[in-house]
Amino acid sequence: MLKLNHTGTRSEPAYTNKNRPSKGFWLMTLYLWLRSFPHLFWRRHHLQKVNMKDIEKPYLLLSSHGCVLDFKVLVKTFFPRTPGNVVALDAAVKRQKPVAWTGSFLTRKFSNDPTIVRNMLYVLRKQKRSVSLFVEARYTLDGRNQVIPDSLGKLAKLMGVPVVVLLNPGHHLVKPYWHPYRRKLRTHSVLTQILTREAVETMPVEAINAAIHDAFVYDDYAWQKETGTLIRDKQRAVGLENILYRCLDCGIEHHMTTTMDQLICTACGSTHTLHETGDLIAQTTPQTRTVPAWYDAQKAAIETEIKNDAYGVEADVDLYMLPNIKGFISLGKARFKHDAKGLVFTYNHDGEERTVKREHAKQMAIHVAFKHHHGQDFIGYTVDGMTYFLGFNDADVSVTKISLAVELFHRFAKKR
């Protein structure tokens, strides 16, 4: 559910990072450890360290994002120290003090906020604390690494500290973002120093960026095969229609549904069973697919639509804005449109029609949420320093499809 600011107005002042991050309180560090340790112990979590011996501190840590366990692994990684965690504003609504007590600081997702760089430098150089950052800015949808910004090389160069990558293979399988339940699986994380301080200082930005992108690659379904991990949850397919919205047999969209371990197309009757091994096995044919392969096929179909100028989404939405950490404010109904021209929505403000547009060249990705507020699917992104969340009521609109199209449009815009 969205945490609303019922007393707020549309003219609510926007959040700014004016205050310097605090070092945090040791009691909060202890509290986080006590909250994290039982979950990791229950799952027999193992943290593997590569090239971390005698690492120069502080350092910049870039983490993958599979599920909520990632936060607990960060606590384990740094305990008893407190890093400067970069936290998304929408994830910390009405929690400003707890965020400050952990020594963390806030930013808006997918925004170019220069103050966040200032705060990172302050934590590294003045407070001598490491900084952690979820560079994907969202949970993975298909168990693989999501698009990350090309500016990471420039950021690492500016920080001037060792660069460490934390990958959490299997975390997506524990609690897929599209799935309502958690699964009991053993978990594993790999902490790797990919660049020393000397390397960061001497390497060109392009080489640093390439090293980060090369290291930031993971595939939970491939990891499942390699380790022989079985998902015995009887309802393991529930929610899979949130990301696999297109039937690959008949090509019809928005007619996928799930029950227990089955993914079913209500248009043609095609049924696939999500096996314990992670394979999608067709019931009527010997064909076997995987979740990532199905996801890629959908992306290829959208790419074809875009190249043929056939892509377009238009729908009525419930519009919310997040000016600050006090909570979301409802702006009522809006008309949303997404096509080759960009992300656009129009709403009424005191009798005046307002339009907010976001060009593809400026939007690398968007945040999506399934059955989030009053059962609605949402997308979220920031325009001119303001975060907007759009809730969809139309069953013929897939937020996953919009998300994939945003990434493709941005890629094409970069090429141009």
Give per-residue pLDDT as tens, 30-43. 999 999 999 999 99
Give the list of residues 6+ apart from residue 278 with CB closer than 8 angstroms, or none.
173, 221, 224, 225, 231, 290, 291
The residue among 162 and 111 whose pLDDT is bigger is: 162
Quick one: pLDDT at residue 396? 93
Half-sphere exposure (Cβ direction) of 64: Cα atoms closer than 13 Å: 29
Instruction: Please tell me which residue, 311 or 97, carries the higher pLDDT value.
Output: 311
Per the CB < 8 A criterion, the answer to whether 165 and 224 are in contact is no
- C-alpha 47/C-alpha 264 separation (Å) is 38
Q: pTM for the full model?
A: 0.95
Task: Using alpha carbons, select from 322, 393, 382, 325 the residue that is nearest to residue 356.
Answer: 382
Instruction: Give SS3 for 348.
Output: strand
Q: What is the mean pLDDT of residues 169-198?
A: 95
Taking only the tens place, the pLDDT of each residue in 43-102 is 999 999 999 999 999 999 999 999 999 999 999 999 999 999 999 999 999 998 999 999
pLDDT of 113 reads 81
pLDDT over 90 (residue 287) = no
CATH number of 313-415: 2.30.29.30
Tokens standing for residue 236 = 């393991």
Closest CA to 106 of 24, 25, 20, 166: 20
What number of helices (H) and strands (E) belong to the chain? Answer: 11, 19
pLDDT value at residue 351: 84
Share of the chain above pLDDT 70, in %: 100
Q: pLDDT at residue 202 above 90?
A: yes
Report the chain's terminal Cα–Cα distance, integer Å.
39
Strands 84-88 and 131-134: parallel
pLDDT of residue 221: 97
**Burial of 1 from C-beta contacts in 10 A (0-12 / 13-18 / 19+):** exposed
pLDDT tens readout for residues 364-398: 999 999 999 999 999 999 999 999 999 999 999 99
pLDDT > 90? residue 197? yes
Q: Are 5 and 327 in contact (CB under 8 A)?
A: yes
Q: Look-up: residue for tokens 């702006």?
A: 331
Place of tokens 């325009």: 383
The residue written with tokens 């690959």 in the block is 248
Q: Contact at 8 Å (CB) between 13 and 157?
A: no
Place of tokens 């021209």: 341
What are the C-alpha distances in Å from 57 to residues 20, 51, 83, 116, 126? 21, 13, 11, 20, 13
Beta strand pairing status for 386-392 and 256-259?
A: unpaired
What's the chain's length in residues?
416
Count other C-beta atoms under 10 Å from residue 291's C-beta.
25
Domain boundaries, the chain: 26-227, 240-275+278-299, 313-415
Which residues lie across from 348 on neighbouring strands?
Answer: 353
Hey, what are 242's tokens? 């949130």
pLDDT confidence of 413, banded at 50, 70, 90? very high
Checking DSSP bridges between strand 84-88 and strand 46-50, what pairing results, if any?
unpaired
What's the Cα-to-Cα distance from 185 to each of 63, 226, 233, 334, rounded to whole Å? Answer: 20, 15, 10, 42
Mean pLDDT of the chain: 95
Model confidence at 210, pLDDT cuts 50, 70, 90, reads: very high
Supply the DSSP string of 237-301, one letter for each residue: TTTGGGT--B-TTT--BS-EEEETTEEEETTT--EEEE-TTSEEEESSSS-EEEHHHHHHHHHHH
- Give SS3 for 6: coil
Cβ neighbours of 193 (radius 10 Å): 21
pLDDT value of residue 280: 97
Do 282 and 370 meet the contact criterion of CB atoms below 8 Å apart?
no
Beta bridge partners of 133: 62
Q: How far apart are CA 285 and CA 165, in angstroms?
A: 42
